[in-house]
Amino acid sequence: MDDEQLSSLIRRHATRHVAGVGLRSELRARIAIAAAAAAPAPTRRLAFAGWRAALAGFAAGVVVAGAGIALLPPLRGTSSLPAELVADHVRALGAGPLIEVASSDRHTVKPWFQGRIDYAPPVYDLKDEGFALIGGRIARVGGAPVATLAFRHGRHVVDVFVWPAQALQAERASQVRGFNVLHWSDASMQFWVVSDADAAELERFASAWRARAAAPR
Amino acid sequence: MSDAGRFESLVLPWLDAAYNLARWLLRDEAAAEDVVQDAALRALRHLGSLRGEARPWFLAIVRNACFDHVQARRGRREQGGWEDEALEALQWQSGQAGADAASALQGTRERVQIDAAIRSLAPALREVVVLREIEGLDYAEIAQVAGLPIGTVMSRLARARTRLRELLEQAGVRP
């Protein structure tokens, strides 16, 4: 057996180990987290840009409000909705972008949504409770743009999809392909939390979120 | 472009190559995943020092992280570095090395034998085989990854091939 034959045997038969989806998505999340940590704090210039975005958002909101309201209700009560949210969560982790605005500062993330969607989702950083805000993105759910917040919890990424609600809804947990989904609505918004973290951890997230929402600021 | 963007376009395409190298060097799935993640974050932090090709640059970081990991593991166990090699040789002799679950499931007899033969090489020889024969790097790139002179890469590759030939011929694997 000469060198060429040996090389050919190895090339044809030896195992080439391939990075799994888990490694790829976890790495992407950690890079997003590292990028968020490195992102500069907002400056006066950015604050001014925020104003312009706010004005643009107001104008855009007037234009798309009708379409948004028409599109949003079918999202509620659709049996495949959790599956669709899990699919978006997986797609964002695998192919990205997981976050389009990378920041742990809610005063950066919240204004970023202005002009991109026709509602203003609440944004909290729950770092002290173990869920650090890493950024946000716009997901498309049932064809409608939906505000999505990404949190880091240990080595897990927790996605929170937020859009307006018509009615209160108590917490409801489900599971799709091993991912946990937790849903509730308050008086104005509905929340869908998706992660591979334990269901109990998502409940802890929901409690922390509601406590923060209720706290006077 | 942001560092994260550059990382995505320059380094992430080589994630499979990185994982393959780590997996072959560490022979452990979980350890390989951890080491590749840490190496990737290290690469992200040092992206500014990247000159030339990203693949050998990134694989060098992964390779060094693997050797650091092995050192740390040995330090914790307070064992000499030869234990693993001795165990590996024993496994080869008793045919146990071929019983790796992934290989056995996917594989032809050739795959099982060839994987086991490569796995039984000393790490210094194993890494040049994986980089040359599986990842297809040239001598200069392997020298960069392993931090060796090109002459040493060539002599190690020659030694590795001699050993592999012996093992495969013993096992009855024909070209």
pLDDT tens per residue across span A92-131: 887 778 888 888 888 899 999 988 998 999 999 999 999 9
The verdict on B114 touching A (C-beta cutoff 8 Å) is: yes
Q: Quote the tokens at residue B70.
A: 């092995």
- In chain B, residues with a C-beta closer than 8 Å to the C-beta of A102 are 4
Domain ranges of chain A: 3-73, 94-214
Percentage of chain A exceeding pLDDT 70: 77
The verdict on B146 touching A (C-beta cutoff 8 Å) is: no
Q: For residue B21, give the chain A residue with the closest CA.
A: A17
Q: How far is A13 from chain B (nearest CA, A)?
A: 5
The model's pLDDT over A58-70, given as tens digits with 9 standing for 90+, comes to: 444 333 333 333 3
CB A32 within 8 A of CB A105: no
Q: Do A1 and B133 touch (CB under 8 A)?
A: no
pLDDT number for residue A65: 36
Mean pLDDT, chain B, rounded, equals 84
Q: How far is B20 from chain A (nearest CA, A)?
A: 5
Q: Quote the tokens at residue A60.
A: 């855009």
- So what's the architecture of A94-214 in CATH? 2-Layer Sandwich (3.30)
Q: How far is B149 from chain A (nearest CA, A)?
A: 21
Q: Do B168 and A102 touch (CB under 8 A)?
A: no
Q: Do B111 and A6 touch (CB under 8 A)?
A: no
Q: Do B175 and A1 touch (CB under 8 A)?
A: yes
- In chain B, residues with a C-beta closer than 8 Å to the C-beta of A96 are 8
Confidence of residue B45 (pLDDT cuts 50, 70, 90): confident
Least confident of A65-69, B73-77, B125-129: A65-69
Q: How many residues does chain A have?
A: 217
- Average pLDDT of the segment spanning A47-56: 42
Range among A19-23, A144-148, B103-107 rated most confident: A144-148
CB B42 within 8 A of CB B7: no
The verdict on A7 touching B (C-beta cutoff 8 Å) is: yes
pTM here is 0.57
Return d(Cα A210, Cα B12) in angstroms, integer: 38
Q: What are the distances in angstroms from CA A117 to CA A59, A61, A82, B72, B104?
A: 11, 7, 21, 50, 52
CB A57 within 8 A of CB A120: no
Q: Are strands A156-164 and A101-102 parallel, antiparallel or unpaired?
A: unpaired
Beta bridge partners of A173: A182
pLDDT number for residue B66: 94
Return d(Cα A111, Cα A115) in angstroms, integer: 9
Return d(Cα A59, Cα A49) in angstroms, integer: 15
The verdict on B73 touching A (C-beta cutoff 8 Å) is: no
pLDDT number for residue B107: 56
Residue B153: pLDDT above 50?
Answer: yes
> Chain B window 38-57: which residues touch A at a Cβ cutoff of 8 Å?
40-41, 44-45
Q: Do A15 and B106 touch (CB under 8 A)?
A: yes
Q: Quote the tokens at residue B75.
A: 């330090």
In this predicted complex, what is the ipTM?
0.82
Beta bridge partners of A175: A180
Beta bridge partners of B96: none
Write the CB contacts of A101 (distance below 8 Å, at least 6 apart in sequence): A108, A109, A112, A135, A136, A137
B53, amino acid identity: E
> What is the spatial order of strands in the sheet that A179-185 belongs to?
A101-102, A132-141, A144-153, A156-164, A189-195, A179-185, A169-176
Residue B154: pLDDT above 70?
Answer: yes
Intra-chain end-to-end CA distance of chain B, in Å = 48
The verdict on A32 touching B (C-beta cutoff 8 Å) is: yes
Can you state the angle between helices A3-13 and B109-119, rounded to 10 degrees? 110
DSSP string, B126-138: HHHHIIIIIS---
Mean pLDDT, chain A, rounded, equals 79
Return d(Cα A120, Cα A113) in angstroms, integer: 7
Q: Do B118 and A18 touch (CB under 8 A)?
A: no
pLDDT number for residue A38: 59
Helix (H, G, I), strand (E, B) or coil at B11: helix
DSSP string, A22-88: HHHHHHHHHHHHHHHHHSPPP-HHHHHHHHHHHHHHHHHHHHHHHHHHHHSGGGTT-TTHHHHHHHH
pLDDT number for residue A3: 92
